[in-house]
Amino acid sequence: MRLPKAGTIEIVPSILDADFARLADELAVIEQAGIRMVHLDVMDGHFVPNITIGPPVIAKLREHSNLVFDSHLMISEPVKYAEAFAKAGANHITFHIEVVEKPKELIDKLHDLGCTAGICLNPETPVENIKAVAPLCDMVLVMTVHPGFGGQEFMLEAAKKVAEVRRIVGPGVRIEVDGGINTETIPKVISYGADTLVVGHAIFAEPDRVAAINAIRAAIG
């Protein structure tokens, strides 16, 4: 399981609105529908005001799923926990620039652990802060809401940063957007240069996940 090379548009369902008591089944449904990656939102109650899952849950899910595990670490100490997430079976690990002083060292460490590396910036964080290291990553994650909760309203100004990131990284690095991504906002983020679309509420808050995925595919065109 490896992050697909840049050049395709990927829908990446976020588990935040899924049924946490039936996570393996939820993953099986999206995998059956042809999805290749799942976005695992990890929250520590410190970097963000919410708590979700950690390595033990990811390790158990790994036994049930062939999806690429795209782990979004919304935690204050990603350096400390990177290895535990890699060992649990995360394939791609994204950390927040806001809490890492030496991002190049962490990117190298993630690669050494056999993972692809992602860097993320919050809506208020300038692109300038990731300029030097973004090209070293496999994917850049641009938050289009303040991290912490699913189902929030899309922030257009934050999404516009995607175009700036694209100019910096060129075509070979994926750009992921996360927060308020749905059939209405997808054309905008694609026009800015995003190719990896995290979708939480618009899939897992719908009773028919497959129909929701197909509606999103139609919006991509």
Between 29 and 143, CB nearer to Zn ion:
143
Note whether 179 binds ligand DX5 by CB under 6 A. yes
Specify whether the CB–CB gap between 141 and 40 falls below 8 A.
no
Q: Least distance (Å) from ligand DX5 to the CB of residue 143? A: 7
Between 48 and 134, CB nearer to Zn ion:
48
**What does residue 129 show for φ and ψ, rounded to 5 degrees?**
-65, -20
- Which residues are designated catalytic? 41, 178
* Site for Zn ion, residues 70 to 129, rule: CB under 5 A: 72
> Is the four-CA dihedral 180, 186, 190, 195 of positive or negative sign?
positive
The span from the CA of 74 to the CA of 134, in Å, is: 18
Question: Given the rule CB under 6 A, which of 96-104, 122-130, 157-165, 200-208 is the region that contacts ligand DX5?
Answer: 200-208
The span from the CA of 194 to the CA of 162, in Å, is: 6
When CB distances to ligand DX5 are compared, the closest residue is: 200
In the structure encoding, which two tokens stand for residue 198, read together?
């995290």
In the structure encoding, which two tokens stand for residue 89, read together?
């079976």
Between 10 and 178, CB nearer to ligand DX5:
178
Note whether 145 binds ligand DX5 by CB under 6 A. yes
The span from the CA of 197 to the CA of 162, in Å, is: 12
Of positions 43, 178, 204, 216, contacts Zn ion by CB under 5 A: 178
What is the binding site for ligand DX5 (CB under 6 A)? Answer: 14, 16-17, 39, 41, 72, 145, 147-152, 178-181, 198-202
